[in-house]
Amino acid sequence: MIKSYKFRRGLANGVIYFILGLMGIIWVCPFAYLLMHSFRAEATVGVPYLIPKQWTFQNYIDLFMSSGNASINFPRWFLNTLLVAAVSCVISTISVLAVSYTFSRLRFGARKKLMNIAMILGMFPGFMTMIAIYYLLKAMGLNQNLIALMICYSSGAGMGFQISKGFFDTIPRALDEAATIDGATKNRIFWSIILPMSKPIIVYTVLTSFIGPWCDFILAKIIMGDARELYTVAIGLQSMISAEFINDYYKQFLAGAVLVAVPITLLFLKMQKYYVAGVTAGGVKG
């Protein structure tokens, strides 16, 4: 009986591990292809083999040093994206944490209604409002402007307060009460007591606030239009594989795609334990 149970359990686990391993291989294959072929020397766009026959770093050098076309400027695109993502990340992080603390700690008449409104608005896909946002920005003279991207990415960030609020709900209210008795204001409690204890959720908020602007394509494309010097890396890389440039810049596109993934991957790996802790602790009902 026991041996039969162990056999069935081992067989079931073996099947599950096989399926998961197969899914993992399928998921990793495109990234492996991207990484290997970013170092290939062959000039053709498509090759019938997985592993390049000749390897070179020239693709990365060409990406930064000798693009050979004024329409292709990866370093400028990279800096544009870094600027937009960094500024949006700072504003969004402060906004999300402040709104989360407000809904977690303060009690006021419209609290539940505002939380419900934010939840309902969050159910609508963001692309539904992109055309309206474009015309509003155009009316204000902000289309084809990096400031417009910063405004769009950070202005509505406060509505993503749910995870952070759940984390703040786990911090004992006795700390707030003791600080209030000592004469601390709500602002002082937030900056001097709550935030120093909230490193996991701060890291989680910073990562999510940075990844969004760093990877976004649709909104940036709509706002920037044909202003190539203001492109972000997502739009720039897409333009490199357009019919006009793909034959000359396909290998540089592969190298650029690898470089775009490296910073955020390293940042996530370094902060992974805090990220997981923030998601886990923030997933409580509040």
Tens-digit pLDDT profile for residues 106-143? 888 888 898 888 888 888 877 788 888 889 998 988 88
**Distance between CA atoms of residues 107 and 54, nearest Å:** 65
Which residue ranges make up each domain of the chain?
Answer: 2-58, 62-282
pLDDT at residue number 87: 95
pLDDT at residue number 80: 94
Sites in the chain below the pLDDT cut of 50: 285-286
**Distance between CA atoms of residues 272 and 240, nearest Å:** 32
pLDDT at residue number 146: 93
pLDDT at residue number 275: 66
Tell whether the torsion through CA atoms of 136, 139, 143 and 148 is positive or negative.
negative
Burial class (CB in 10 A: 0-12, 13-18, 19+), 186: middle
pLDDT at residue number 286: 47
**Distance between CA atoms of residues 96 and 154, nearest Å:** 9
**Distance between CA atoms of residues 90 and 101, nearest Å:** 17
Residue 89 CA, distance from chain mean position: 10
Chosen CATH of 62-282 out of 1.10.3720.10, 3.20.20.20, 3.40.50.10160, 3.30.1330.10: 1.10.3720.10
pLDDT at residue number 89: 93
Instruction: For residue 225, list its beta bridge partners.
Output: none
Contact 212, 159 (CB under 8 A): no
> Residue 18: what residue type?
F
